[in-house]
A and B are shown apart, each in its own frame.
Chain A
Amino acid sequence: MPRPTLLTTALTVALNFATSLGAAQGGTPTAAGQPRLAEPVRTVAGPAPDLTIVAPAAPGGGWDQTARVMQQVLRTSGLAQSVQVVNAPGAAGTIGLARFVSADAGNGSALLVTGLVMVSGIATNNSPVTLADVTPIARLSGEYEVIVVPKGSPYQTLGDLVTAFKANPRAVSWGGGSAGGTDEILVRLLADAAGVPRSGVNYIAYSGGGQALAAVLGAHVSAGVSGLGEFAAQLESGDLRALAISAPARIAPATSGFDAATVPTIREQALDVVLMNWRGVVAPPGISRAERRALESLIAEMSKSREWQEALARNGWTDLTLVGEDFGRFVTDETRRVVPLVVASGGGARRDWFEVLVLGALVASVAAAGLQRFRQRAMEPAIHATNAPLNRRSLGLVAAAVLLEAALIVPAGFVVTSALAFTLVARAFGSRRIAVDAAIGLALAAVVYLGFAKGLGVSLPTGVFS
């Protein structure tokens, strides 16, 4: 095992080193030829101390990308000395939010990425912690939603679609992202504006943008709803037709690719609905007024920097900067508007036939297996009378190793905890050389740590070494 891992480690480190050198010298392809911003433009105070940005999502999603782009911009523009991104994914961000509020309270150098999806997640998941428990800092960016139909669809305008929707709501199926997300919120807002009861909405949730897109392209749903970016390539090629965009006014013409300025807004088509999938940052509760001001001005500076503006363009995000108290009021308004929409979705009696079916089958098969065992025992008692003995000591040691890992990995760190677990398991399997085992365990854990945490940037706790 150690040899190939070492090899990879060397390569990864070399790669990271080489590319970071490249990044420092070459600049980005879009910025080619332009000089980098040499001097930091920070005017408020000295450079910010170590900043931690919590992305309450797994690597790859919009919140994680926001955090990582912020990290890059803050570093390269010299606005902060060191920026660390921590992923705390789960349950539409509410797990990260709860952890942020309890663990980072009073910490003036921590930020959490948030957005519309968290507002609705808090409501659907009955989260005890809400956005009222954190300090609003700024709204940063967002995406508008588009309503599209396949090119062969009979609906030419949003009006056509809404007329059909009003006439027979269940016959119009809307495909979009996961239940309770931005896409479903937009469809519910449309239904409200068109006077269609919420129970009549036939919304089909797909996991991931790709599957919803496939359903629209294959004409398996009447219309698709998603962020503009998800559909842009197919709109450009003409495989999809955009009926409306959820922006307050037509958006600025694009220089290349699909020109979204040609898409009429929902408002233009006589329904008063505006929605953006916004993202922003909040600070922990209990920070001082000065700390709050410092964070607000840091983020305001960042959003003005050329690096940030370039990153927005690259990712197809709209600049929605709104700092401080205004952002706080915006969050309150959004909560008031969105929560009733998503809470009502699960209302009424739930007929979850699948859950009933599965639990029923589990009970039935356990009962059948029990009955079978009982019969066999009655017929051939000799075979089943004795239970095989267990080596309780070894089993106990392995179980202890797993439990210790769970308990100690954060406080003591990955390397120490893994070495300890390794030693315990080796002991369970009869090894007597505790010191040698510990050394081997330590070496193995250190190699894994170097390769994956240092080389690749997977977040593993450092613990006692930090």
Chain B
Amino acid sequence: MESLSALFDGFRVALTPAHLGWSLIGVVLGTAVGVLPGIGPALTVSLLLPVTFSLDPTSAFIMFAGIYYGAMYGGSTTSILLNTPGESATIVTALEGHQMAKAGRGGAALATAAIGSFVAGTLATLGLALLAPPLVRVALALGPAEYFGLIVVAFAAVTSVLGRSRTRGMVSLTLGLTLGLVGLDPRDGQARLTFGIPYLLDGIDPVIVAVGLFAVGETFFLAARHGLDIDELVPLKGSLWMTREEWKRSWKPWLRGTALGFPLGALPAGGSELPTFLSYGIEKRLTKYPEEFGRGAIEGVAGPEAANNAAAAGTLVPLLTLGLPTSATAAMLLAAFQQYGLRPGPLLFEQEPALVWGVIASLFIGNALLLVLNLPLVGLWIKMLSVPRPLLYGAILVLASVGAYSVHSSPADLVMLGAIGAIGLALRLGDFPVAPVIIGLLLGPMAEQQFGRAVSVASDSVTQAFARPVAGSLLAVALLLLAWPGLAKLVRPRRTRG
């Protein structure tokens, strides 16, 4: 109850015209930077820090919060329409979302993403306001062994995206894992698979790989098939909005995505990618329309989109309650707090209640603003699909390359983008699935690091490292998920007979 009245005071801070204005600027700016791959909320906040220094802290943070949430919206729009994920958290959205757009259901995909993000953002922000202190205690108790268990569960849950052929899926997955090896070994800082090229020492940026495989790879592929295939792209089929049926298929994934995203986002090493993969895997297993997955299933957009927005709110839990930055954006927000002489941490809620609750209230407001801004724009965005294809693909390439270039301000990133695009073309021509490459690249290094840490912490004993209740049960769940198809076959015949 105490939090509720504090939140009410927060609304009084956030609802002043000036603060509403900053929130609006934030969400619009966030949407714009979310559209460009490579330019994300972290980079934007860091570039704006020097110029916002003259603002009062509350205005600045209200704007930054808007940028953070807005970027999640912008990233999903380009994922769906252009197959160009703007953020690593929206990579999964491209899998089903772009297929929906190609089949004329882009409007519904954008709507379910926007409404799902709103629902998830609102519920998760409520969670942030009410549950932050107890949640963070649980989160801190989880160590590397538990994270490793969680990542293995995610791997097991998404093996279903391996595609029709397990063997081919494994080629893609191990290719992704191999790309993830490139760079410095996170445990001892030694170079791996860098072939003496300094550029490769920092590894390959997942956003460049995603954009290279999806956007550039597809542009290559379509160019290679130009004039040989019939155009598959249907700008709009049926209603622009979600149908009754699509609403019915969306609301449960929204809630499940929120339930996954918020707690995982609050974990110090949870991040926003892990929940999107998990949500996708779960939706694919629970859906009544498994045959639609890979061809544009709305559940595959609704779930991950809710998950990434809920995770964004979850990230603020450790930041505001402990001063723990668990994502690049949170780290920039922390730097911003410090610039203002504020010390986010256990004492922030006591020392700066107006600021903290004002920011939390502005998250609700920013979320609502985003929904109000984005829903009417759906019609306009959809028109983009009617742009003649020569111009559409020209624009995709320009956007993909400006994003890739700005990651390191280096032309080498453009070479890498082209090379990954060529791999994407080869995979498509050889009928290998593309999504597992990304899964391997993102989850592989995470799994390796957490495994290494878990074993080191347990004084180099593997059995001791995982003989913990939570870690052990997570590994058991993963095993069950992997063995499920086989077990199901064993169980079913008996039932029919009996």
Contacts and interface: CB of A to CB of B under 8 A. Distances in A.
Contacts of A378: none
B488 interface: no
A394 B226 contact: yes
B189 A315 contact: no
A256 to B, nearest CB: 8
B148 interface: no
B54 A27 contact: yes
A456 B460 contact: no
B409 A91 contact: no
Interface in A60-107: 60, 64-65, 68, 72, 86-91, 94-95, 98
A30 B339 CA distance: 10
A428 B393 CA distance: 10
A255 to B, nearest CB: 11
A90 B201 contact: yes
B394 interface: yes
Main secondary structure of the interface of A (DSSP, over half): helix
Nearest to B33: A456
Nearest to A129: B198
Interface string A13-43: 0011001101100111110000000000000
B414 interface: yes
B170 interface: yes
B140 A217 contact: yes
Contacts of A406: 411-412, 414-415, 418
B150 to A, nearest CB: 15
B408 A58 contact: yes
Given A20-B51, A170-B460, A345-B189, A90 B223 contact: no
Contacts of A314: 338-339, 341
A328 interface: no
A72 B50 contact: yes
Given A234-B322, A316-B338, A358-B178, A205 B394 contact: no
Contacts of A369: 165, 167-168, 170-171, 432
Contacts of A88: 408-410
Most A Cβ at <10 Å: residue of B42, B186, B223, B380: B223
Nearest to B191: A125
Nearest to A65: B335
Nearest to A408: B411
B345 A218 contact: no
Contacts of A236: 343, 345, 347
A395 B223 contact: yes
Given A354-B448, A394-B224, A399-B220, A460 B406 contact: yes
Q: How large is the interface on A (under 10, 10 to 19, 20 to 34, 35 or more residues)?
A: 35 or more
B53 interface: yes
Interface string B157-183: 000000001011011011101101100
A234 B345 contact: yes
A388 B428 CA distance: 12
A125 B190 CA distance: 8
A427 B388 CA distance: 12
A11 interface: yes
A207 interface: yes
B61 to A, nearest CB: 13
Interface in B416-432: 417-418, 421-422, 425, 429, 432
- Pick the most buried of B139, B185, B412, B432: most chain A CB atoms within 10 A of its CB: B185
B346 interface: yes
B269 A211 contact: yes
Interface residues of B, number: 131
A358 to B, nearest CB: 5
Interface stretch (A158-166, A299-307, A417-425): A417-425
A352 B185 contact: yes
A15 B216 contact: no
B28 A7 contact: yes
Given A68-B50, A234-B323, A398-B219, A391 B343 contact: no
Contacts, number: 371
Contacts of A196: none
Interface of B is mostly: helix
B402 A460 contact: yes
A232 B343 contact: yes
B29 interface: yes
A69 to B, nearest CB: 8
B347 A4 contact: no
Contacts of B402: 414, 418, 448, 452, 460
B175 A362 contact: yes
Interface stretch (B108-116, B284-292, B324-332): B324-332
B331 A208 contact: yes
Contacts of B398: 418, 421-422, 441, 444-445, 448
Contacts of B397: 398, 401-402, 421-422, 425
B305 to A, nearest CB: 19
B68 to A, nearest CB: 14
Nearest to B196: A126
A451 B32 contact: yes
* Residue from B46, B56, B451 having most chain A Cβ neighbours under 10 A: B46
Contacts of B143: 215, 218, 220
A170 to B, nearest CB: 5
Nearest to A210: B325
Contact of B174 (A16, A23, A60, A365): A365
Given A179-B187, A395-B224, A210 B331 contact: yes
B202 A91 contact: yes
Interface stretch (A243-251, A266-274, A429-437): A429-437
B51 A218 contact: no
20 contacts: A8-B29, A58-B43, A60-B42, A91-B198, A94-B201, A178-B186, A205-B187, A213-B322, A220-B143, A233-B322, A233-B346, A257-B343, A355-B192, A361-B174, A361-B177, A394-B223, A409-B401, A429-B394, A431-B391, A459-B409
Interface of A: 1, 3-5, 7-8, 11-12, 15-16, 19-20, 22-23, 26-30, 58-60, 64-65, 68, 72, 86-91, 94-95, 98, 124-125, 127, 170-171, 173, 178-180, 202, 204-211, 213-215, 217-218, 220-221, 229, 232-234, 236-237, 239, 256-257, 314-316, 342, 345-346, 350, 352, 354-355, 358-359, 361-362, 365-366, 368-369, 372, 388-392, 394-395, 397-399, 401-403, 405-407, 409-410, 414, 418, 421-423, 425-431, 437, 440-441, 444-445, 448, 451-452, 456-460
Interface pairs A-B: 3 shortest CB-CB? A233-B345, A179-B189, A214-B268
Given A87-B409, A239-B322, A358-B174, 10 more contacts: A11-B29, A58-B408, A59-B47, A60-B331, A94-B201, A358-B444, A361-B177, A405-B401, A428-B226, A437-B390
Interface of B: 25, 28-29, 31-33, 36, 39, 42-44, 46-57, 139-144, 165, 167-168, 170-171, 173-175, 177-178, 180-181, 184-193, 198-199, 201-202, 216, 219-220, 222-228, 268-269, 318, 322-326, 328, 330-332, 334-335, 338-341, 343-348, 377, 380, 384, 388-391, 393-395, 397-399, 401-402, 405-412, 414-415, 417-418, 421-422, 425, 429, 432, 444, 448-449, 451-453, 456-457, 459-460
